[in-house]
Structure formats: C-alpha cells, structure tokens
C-alpha cells in the first residue's frame, strides 16, 4: 500500500509540478502610461539562486510567469531572456508597475506552465 501511495504521489507531482519561486531584484523599470505597459529588467536577489534563475530564463523565455510586487498581489507577465546579459531577464506586463526601481519581487512559474522548447 505504501508503495502505491508513493507511486501515485510521484505521478501527481510529475503531471502537476510545484511552482518554482525565486526572489528577484529590479535593475531598471519603465512604465508607458500611453501604451499602458510596464517593463522590468531584473536578476536574482540572492546569489544562491543564480543558477536556478538561469535555468528558468533559458527554459521559460517567452512564457507567461507570475510576479508579486509590493502590493502583495500576483500578476501575469511575459518573461524574456536577455541573451546579451547573462542571468538577466525582462518582464513585460500591462498597467503600472507596483515594483519600485531597485525594488524586490517574487517570480514564479505557474505549476501548469509548459517549458518553451529550447533552440539549439
């Protein structure tokens, strides 16, 4: 019975992976009120998560991720990998930013998100 529970738990975690959350820090922010879009250039907050963020940027570039700003709410954003800056990403989202210049936020890949196939 214990083996069956272990197999079922493993199968469930494979079909519904736990979201990955990384603490990040903004390097630059910009909001265009006319276009109603905000842009954030970011990297990891903690050096220990550098390689984790690099993997996320590589695997999920172009995907919709979620960010949690100063207001505590999660919102969707498109994450882009900046190929000319190792370990840096770009977030695009609608509306004003609730994340301050040089502020901190949480970035997560939703559990249902599919990794974008990497190009050779």
Kindly report the CATH number assigned to the domain that includes residue 58.
2.40.10.190
Q: Please state, in angstroms and rounded to a whole number, the distance separating the CA atoms of residues 8 and 15.
A: 11
Query: Does residue 120 form part of some domain?
Result: no
Query: Does residue 93 form part of some domain?
Result: yes
Per-residue pLDDT tens digits for 19-31: 689 999 999 999 9
Q: Which residue has the higher pLDDT, 107 or 119?
A: 107
C-alpha dist (Å) from residue 25 to 5, 51, 104:
40, 15, 4
Query: Does residue 54 form part of some domain?
Result: yes
Query: Does residue 115 form part of some domain?
Result: no
Give the mean pLDDT of 31-59. 93
Q: Please state, in angstroms and rounded to a whole number, the distance separating the CA atoms of residues 91 and 64.
A: 9
Model confidence, pTM: 0.76
Q: Please state, in angstroms and rounded to a whole number, the distance separating the CA atoms of residues 2 and 48.
A: 35
Per-residue pLDDT tens digits for 29-40: 999 999 999 999
Query: Does residue 11 form part of some domain?
Result: no
Contact call for residues 113 and 16 (beta carbons, < 8 A): no
Query: Does residue 116 form part of some domain?
Result: no
Domain that holds residue 96: 17-109
Domain count, the chain: 1
């Amino acid at each position: 019975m214990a083996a069956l529970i272990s197999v079922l738990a493993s199968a469930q975690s494979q079909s519904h992976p736990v979201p990955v959350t990384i603490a990040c820090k903004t390097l630059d922010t910009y909001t265009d009120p006319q276009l109603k879009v905000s842009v954030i250039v970011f990297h990891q907050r903690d050096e220990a998560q550098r390689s984790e963020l690099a993997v996320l940027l590589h695997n999920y570039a172009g995907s919709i991720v979620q960010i949690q700003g100063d207001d505590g709410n999660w919102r969707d954003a498109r994450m882009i990998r900046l190929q000319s800056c190792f370990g840096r990403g770009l977030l695009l989202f609608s509306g004003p930013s609730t994340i301050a210049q040089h502020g901190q936020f949480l970035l997560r890949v939703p559990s249902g998100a599919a990794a974008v196939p990497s190009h050779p």
